[in-house]
Structure 1
Amino acid sequence: MFHIETEIRLVGPSMKTIKVSSRIECAMICSNDNCCSSSYDTILEHCSFFRDCCPSKEFSKESQTLTKISGFNPPPKDCSELPAESCSGVYVIQPENRPSMTVFCEMSIDNGGWTVRNDYLHFILRQRSYQVRFDLEDFTGNTSYAVYSTMYVGDESDNYKLKLTGYNETAGNGMSNFGGSSLSGMMFSTRNRDNDIDERSCAISRKGAWWYQSCAAANINGVYSQKYSNSAVYWRSWREKNGQKKTMMMTKPKP
């Protein structure tokens, strides 16, 4: 197993190795198992679990290190408050005036500090001014990303209404309607809660859940498929409606 950024091989006995589809799944399994760290091989899709929190390393290439929940007192309010040397992995955070929650922290991309899981977006984003980043990878290994300088999500009573401004970077503005208008101001739609402005239900036609308008130029909660489809996981401004292999949405405080 190897660390993808520093091209060094991880050495030391692993508890077990299983096949999983992503490094986030690998870390989540570790968080529920008797391990302290895990390593995900991106080529073989192998997840190895370690009792050691910091496996030894030597030079080589091709994998990613993930660390299990770490105890901090008090817990960080979001992933940006973790120590800079922290590994990507599953951590306990505690936003202001909320119980603690378990999230995945991405610590290797763009100076780290990104919170990946979006179950509690409202409680995290209401604390301060946040940016959001979308990372994309197609089935041939090409990658791209989009960053928005400001993001806020309302609470359940507001149907998780989205505020989004300031697009930048390489993937194109997928957080827009097909006509180019912003999705900012839209409420979150699901199959049983149609909050878009289209005459049909975008959540049903796109087979996903999103801040649809009429409908949207991105569908990262759609159907996992390599095919070109209205219901695929796509980011239209980058690869039209061709299905994406991996997508990731993550937030951290604005610099």
Structure 2
Amino acid sequence: MVSHGILGSLLFTIFVIGKCSAVTSEFTNFLNGISNAQSLTPEQKLNIQNLRTDTNGQVHLYPDCKALNRFGNKPSGMYVIKPKNNSPVLVYCDMKTEDGGWILVQKVKKGNNLPFPTTWKQYENTFGDFNNNYWLGNIYLHQLTQEQRYDVKFVLQGGNETVNIDFDSFNIDGEDNNYALRLGAPLNDSDHHKQLLKNDNMMFSTEDMDNDRDSTKNCAKLYGGGWWFNDCTSVMFNSQHIVWMLIMNFQKQLLAFTVMILSAQSFTDAAATLMTYEGLKLKVANAAMVPQQKVNDIVNVKDLLLRKAKYAKDCNELLRQGFTTNGLYVIKPESTQKTPLIVVNCVMNYDCGGWTVLEHKSKQSELTWNETWTTYKYGFGNVLGDHYLGNEYIYFLTNQMWYKAKVLLGQADKNGELKWKHAEYDIFRVGSEMTNYTLHLGAFSGKIPDALSVPENMVDNCPFSTRDRDSDSDSVNCAQKYGGGWWFNTCPSATPFAMLTQKESIYWEPYCKDCTSVTFMVRSVNMHCYKRDMLSRI
């Protein structure tokens, strides 16, 4: 007797009575329900790697080969997987290529005498064997690639040469659109990728279903196999006549062709969040400033799942790319040296948008703010709330082009309603650590008085100070006196003239000594903002 149960979306568990040393009737009944496994011989069924029960008689089915590979070292071979929203399917998992976890889509060996199918129905289903000519089937390719994003690897082998052609996305439409092929961005630039991109967005064609763009010929009939044809001169591999139009010398030596796909994200929602967070920690310098449960709030989080992705250098560039949502983004500043990926909070709906937040602080913040030099160097807090981005990242950010800064100060009126006003500097730049992150400011404008470049508090061209590194011009350590790191000149009074990093209060003389909230942000100045484009302005 076979019973089925689903544990979340990660596992599909089968309870089977019997031993793995023989094909029991329970195994046979289960496999008979898998449409592409019915033709297996009893010997082949024994080779299905994950249909060998554990001591409790349980078989765990995972949604893809990558999930299988993540949960223990597995050999390459036949496995039954259970996509989240579809029936179980028999696949071949390649656990050796790169980090393993690849699903075999197709294999062709030149000179193999096995016949190739020619009809539409044949290509909808699995045919061949994993060691020779093999095709997973358009029905299963559609089901798999509709559930999640897959990378794809096309492998050409000939003589002593192997060529890998990788794209960051592989998707197959349903039969209603003739199983059209959708390729993502090439993971490296080469003429090989350009050749395959000619097949991008093409519908699948067979001898009895001509969907190619050649008006004079049926390409599938001409070459004796189904494929995503553009015209009859495009790449084609489902035939004894492997067609690779780019390099004729390579074509003559081409011995084998393989297509594999790798899920970009598998597991349950909780496990996927954990996997994404682990990837964030590996790739992003200030990942600790993002709570694990909020990792999927990063708007461009999918880029972290790509093996190669191009990141914007700031929020302004993201805005020009079409991102208009406030929130977290991963960026990569471009400076004179190699810079890391960092997570920042972008303000996209204020004053033309494209602002990168350097600091946000509320009154009576839970953070101490009286931190060490190293803590201020690399940042602290929750980038979704109160936080300081970090002087090293501010240096990377503000030295790639000209930036201006805006300080938004919120103060409650007598009725308790929060009123916002701003101060703006048309140049804002922070020097390297060798200069102690010296501050450089341009001309001031705004609806509140200047507090950073006035005789009472001239901090332009002043270095940064913390409680453990005194860089100011006073005889005492101003950062230690006031309880937070900042750009100080001197500190003669009991309270600071302007300081946005003290735990208890926010100071900006003479506008306020006790503001409720502050946001300190920058935007590149190579942007023309017209009144009709302004989304909101304070």
- Determine if the TM-score, normalized by the shorter chain, exceeds 0.5: yes
Which of 122, 127, 130 pairs up with 2:400? 127
For residues 322 and 444 of structure 2, the distance between their equivalents in structure 1, rounded to whole angstroms, comes to 26
Cα distance, 1:84 vs structure 2: 4.3
Q: Distance in 2 between matches of 1:203 and 1:34?
A: 32
Distance 1:185 1:143 in 2: 28
Q: How far is 1:124 from its partner?
A: 0.6
Percent pairwise identity: 30
Matching residue of 2:464: 188
Question: What residue number does 2:473 align with?
Answer: 197
Could you list the runs of 4 or more consecutive aligned residues of structure 1 that deviate by over 6 angstroms after TM superposition? none
Indicate how the Cα distance of structure 1 residues 127 and 244 shifts in structure 2: closer, same or farther if over 3 A, else same: same
Find the residue that maps to 1:121 and give its secondary structure.
Answer: helix
Q: Is the 8 A contact 1:76 1:94 kept in 2?
A: yes
Rate the CA distance shift 1:149–1:109 in 2: closer, same or farther, 3 A: same
Check if 1:79 corresponds to 2:309.
no
Query: Equivalent residues in 2 for 1:15-54 (5 A)?
Result: 32-33=292-293, 36-37=296-297
Alignment-mate amino acid for residue 153 of structure 1: V
Determine which structure has greater relative contact order: mean sequence separation of CA pairs < 8 Å that are 6+ residues apart, divided by chain length: 1
Change (3 A) 1:34 1:159: closer
Aligned partner (choices 331, 342, 350) of residue 101 of structure 1: 342
SS in 1 for 2:460: coil
Please report how far the alpha carbon of residue 32 of structure 1 lies from its aligned counterpart in structure 2 after TM superposition. 2.6
Structure 1 alignment gaps of length 5 or more? 1-27, 38-66, 225-231
Secondary structure, aligned partner of 1:249: strand
Partners of 2:480 and 2:453 lie apart in 1 by: 19
Pick from 305, 310, 328 the counterpart of residue 90 of structure 1: 328
Aligned: 1:161 with 2:432: no
Q: CA deviation at 1:36?
A: 4.2
CA displacement at 1:201 relative to structure 2: 1.6
Distance in 2 (CA, whole Å) between partners of 1:79 and 1:130 is: 12
> What SS does the corresponding residue of 2:427 show, helix, strand or coil?
strand
Query: For 2:434, what is the secondary structure of its paired residue?
Result: helix
In 2, Cα distance between the equivalents of 1:70 and 1:150?
A: 31
Q: What displacement does 1:250 show?
A: 0.5
Cα displacement string for residues 180-234 of structure 1 (whole angstroms, at most 9, x for unaligned residues): 453111000111111111122211221111101113531110123xxxxxxx311
Partner Cα separation in structure 2 for residue 149 and residue 186 of structure 1: 18
Aligned-residue offset at 1:143: 1.4
Aligned residue pairs, count: 189
- Matched residue, 1:10: none
Quick check: 1:222 aligned with 2:502? Answer: yes
2:300–2:329: 8 Å Cα contact kept in structure 1?
yes
Gaps in structure 2 of 5+ consecutive residues: 1-288, 304-308, 359-388, 528-538
Higher strand share: 1
Which residue matches 2:482?
206
Q: After superposition, what is the alpha-carbon deviation per residue over 1:167-187, rounded to whole angstroms, capped at 9, x for unaligned? A: 10112112136x345311100
* CA RMSD in angstroms, aligned pairs only: 2.2
d(CA) in 2 for partners of 1:223, 1:146: 21
Q: Which has the higher helix share?
A: 2
Mean Cα deviation higher: 179-188 or 155-164: 179-188
Structure with the greater alpha carbon radius of gyration? 2
Alignment of 1:250 onto 2:526: no
Structure 2: distance between partners of 1:34 and 1:188: 31
Q: Counterpart of 1:5?
A: none
C-alpha spacing 1:34/1:188, structure 2 compared with 1 (3 Å): closer
**Residue type of the alignment partner of 1:99:** P
Query: How far apart in 1 are the matches of 2:456 and 2:353?
Result: 30
- Matches for 1:61-80 after TM superposition, within 5 Å: 68-71=299-302, 73-80=309-316
User: What SS does the aligned partner of 1:143 have?
Assistant: strand
Contact 2:457/2:498 (CA < 8 Å) preserved in 1? no
Structure 2: distance between partners of 1:80 and 1:133: 14
